[in-house]
Amino acid sequence: MSLIPEFFRLLRVEMVKTFLKKRTYLGFLIILLIVPLVEIALKIEGGRFLRMAMRGIAQDFILLGNVFNGWFVSLQIMNSLWIQIPILISFVAGDQLAGEATGGTYRLLLIRPVSRTKIFLAKYLTTVLYVVLFVTFLGVLSVGLALLLLGSGDMIVLQQGILVLPESDVAWRFVMAYILAAWSMTTVASIGFLFSSFVENAIGPIVGTMGVIIVLTIITVIPVETFSGIREYLFTYHMASWQKMFADPVPWGDIRSSVLNLAGYIIATLTAAWIIFVRKDVLS
């Protein structure tokens, strides 16, 4: 009998299966292509992008120093990629359970003398680890490369106006923003996990997760009175809470509320997925 505790053995099994699968790295590959491409293009374009972004308000400001810098570009990348990232996350999360059904390997996995609950937790933790690695990779690559290409400086934030954050006040905001982003993506992964628990093919969870995100995003952003009462309970309303890290002062109360809302979704979807998984008849 191995000395390694059972749960860690299960975790190792799930990690080996996930991280030796080529499709796990598809998201990393896409990020590895897109981020340098966009950042190099922006470097070539120079400050034209910033001037376009500031059209209409530029005459009110005199900008000195290197404001079209790595911090500014990293934030634009984070903003623009936030639609595609959930697809890449659901690609792996959705495969965790449904992939076993598709491959027929539930029959290998679930006849062992270990509880389904432990297998479920090992799979979920592996998914969370993937999310963390993926978001970290995105953060390190986009910020690191942007700073390397475009240098550092004070950061301009264009949200509902213009805000200039001093250079010394930016790095920690990015770290916190990426932690919050990872939390949002963990919520997406949990929804993918739920879909993954009751379908027999890995495409269903990807389509299902994206469907939910699209529908709820529409409800979140569409200016219709009917939805105003439910809007703030939808996870899509809180998914971009990381953007609040670039406000001054940081609205910690709002962020805490978003984190708790997303936690509620994680707990609810995981509980539902767990119940389905442990009661599931394996017919594949």
Partner 1 sequence: MTPHVILRTHNLSKKYKDRWAVRNLSLEVHRGDIFGFLGPNGAGKSTTIRMILSLIRPTEGRVELFGYDLKSHRSKALSSVGGIVEKPDFYSYLSAVRNLDLIGSLNGGVEKKRILEVLDVVGLSGRGGDKVKTFSHGMKQRLGIAQALLSDPELVVLDEPTSGLDPQGMKEVRQLILHLAKEQKKTVFLSSHLLNEIELVANRMAIINKGELVVQGEVKALLDEGGRYVVVEGEPKAKIKAVLKKNKKLLEGFTERDGSFDVKMDFDDVPMLNNALVKAGVRVTALVPRRSLEDFFLSITENQGKV
Segment near partner 1 (CB under 8 A), from 18-26, 68-76, 175-183, 217-225? 18-26
What sign does the dihedral 268-270-273-277 (CA atoms) show? negative
Q: Which one of 7, 13, 198, 227 is in contact with partner 1 (CB under 8 A)?
A: 13
Q: Does 28 bind partner 1 (CB under 8 A)?
A: no
Cα pseudo-dihedral 6, 11, 16, 18, rounded to 10: 150
Q: Which of 118, 130, 94 is nearest to 11 (CA)?
A: 118
- Please report how close the Cβ of residue 89 comes to partner 1 at its closest, in angstroms: 21
Alpha helix (H) residue ranges in the chain: 6-19, 26-45, 48-53, 70-81, 85-93, 95-103, 106-109, 116-150, 171-198, 203-221, 228-231, 235-238, 252-279
- Please report how close the Cβ of residue 91 comes to partner 1 at its closest, in angstroms: 16
Q: Which one of 60, 225, 228, 279 is in contact with partner 1 (CB under 8 A)?
A: 279
25: its two tokens: 């790295």
The 98-137 site mask, x for binding partner 1 (CB under 8 A), equals -----xxxxxxxxxxxxx----------------------
H or E stretch at 82: none
18: its two tokens: 């996930």
Residues 6+ apart with CB under 8 A from 55: none
- Please report how close the Cβ of residue 136 comes to partner 1 at its closest, in angstroms: 25
Q: Does 81 bind partner 1 (CB under 8 A)?
A: no
Q: Which one of 44, 62, 64, 283 is in contact with partner 1 (CB under 8 A)?
A: 283
- With respect to partner 1, which residue has the nearer C-beta, 64 or 111? 111
Q: Does 40 bind partner 1 (CB under 8 A)?
A: no
Q: How far apart are CA 258 and CA 241, in angstroms?
A: 7
- With respect to partner 1, which residue has the nearer C-beta, 106 or 242? 106
**Binding site residues, partner 1, CB under 8 A:** 1-2, 4, 6, 9-10, 12-13, 16-17, 20-22, 103-115, 279, 281-283
